Chains A and B, each alone.
Chain A
């Protein structure tokens, strides 16, 4: 049992050390942990896009679809992501990573910000089926929870 995490850390470190060698490379070459968390963010974005389309009136409100998207966001936010945020995969170590080293220096704060998203997402999942106003009201807090973490821990870039 104690051996497994060590192997994981060693593998992660190896990936991180070799990462600069394929700077400017395609995302397919990113360390698995970075690919995993970027995929996770992509799933958030897809589901938020469905809700934001309804909130802005570019898509018709549909209670079932809204509930499904909001439930997905809530489910995603409650996944255990500890292996996504592997040490040595910050934006200094890995070209293509947008996670600042500061994240690993402030793990308790990053976890607290993640929990704030879980709370906001659960609230939205509970009300998204009630009507358009509920989606419009609940999406703001979810976006702000995402933004709170990006503000401190996401690399500014084009």
Chain B
């Protein structure tokens, strides 16, 4: 009986160590980041494609490069408030190393070794090329500083327990793409832009019981994570727009019948509208290639 208790204790200790090892916050080594020469023009393109300003620009600010934060993502788990990621050394990320910024974006780990909530779409950004994210980090360094303090998230139990995010990452963060596509350079570019940077699936794909994206119903629409209404199904089962229609919508916000994008999509279009035409067409080709799902 005594021995049984010891075995249980031993197993418990093992589980704790294994759990810690599996769920501890991961980082990108500084020397890997230092070895890459950033390309600022590429960093700016990544900035627009990844939609950084959609959440981190101050709401209603004219200048979308002042990343003072403050956007409130009002979800069933509580309110996530986008932090200040401007270059202010005290209130922003001005005194972070480039490797710390890259680690935050790809691994969802803060400089003090904590997990970020996946309201920050690192489950998409982890699929980006390291050189693209290094270029993005370098581009962020060229943007203005703003001394607005970040506001705390307003979350209830159990979402207020950050350690739980480490466990969630085991199911919610995957290395591979969500869907298989024929080998085609335009589709590959579209998949990279959509799945790794623009993180379309974060809103357009429903979530399963574990709150991970349901890749069997990719882009099939979902409840609006930040308010009323629904985020539409954009698979070919529902969206019958032409490739040019989709590309034009992503550039200008005009639908084929000339309604104008609203809700959170308005900010997405403000970012994507800066991409070259070929990239918008690549995203459109990808959207049209997604399996139809009712």
Contact = CB atoms under 8 A, between A and B. Distances in A.
A, B from the same assembly = yes
A154 interface: yes
A36 B267 CA distance: 28
A143 B229 contact: no
A130 interface: no
A155 B229 contact: yes
Interface string B215-232: 000000100100111111
B266 A150 contact: yes
B254 A143 contact: yes
A40 to B, nearest CB: 13
Interface in B61-105: none
Nearest to A46: B258
A72 B80 CA distance: 42
A150 B229 contact: no
Contact of A158 (B233, B257, B259, B262): B233
Contacts of B229: 91, 155-157
A156 B254 contact: no
Interface string A37-57: 000010011101100100010
A150 B258 contact: no
Contact of B228 (A45, A49, A155): A155
Interface residues of A, number: 27
B258 to A, nearest CB: 4
B221 A158 contact: yes
Contacts of A143: 252-254, 260
B263 A150 contact: yes
B248 interface: yes
Interface string B256-278: 01111111111101100000000
Contact of A147 (B221, B233, B260): B260
Interface string A83-123: 00000000110000000100000000000000000000000
Interface of A: 41, 44-46, 48-49, 52, 56, 91-92, 100, 139-140, 143-144, 146-151, 153-158
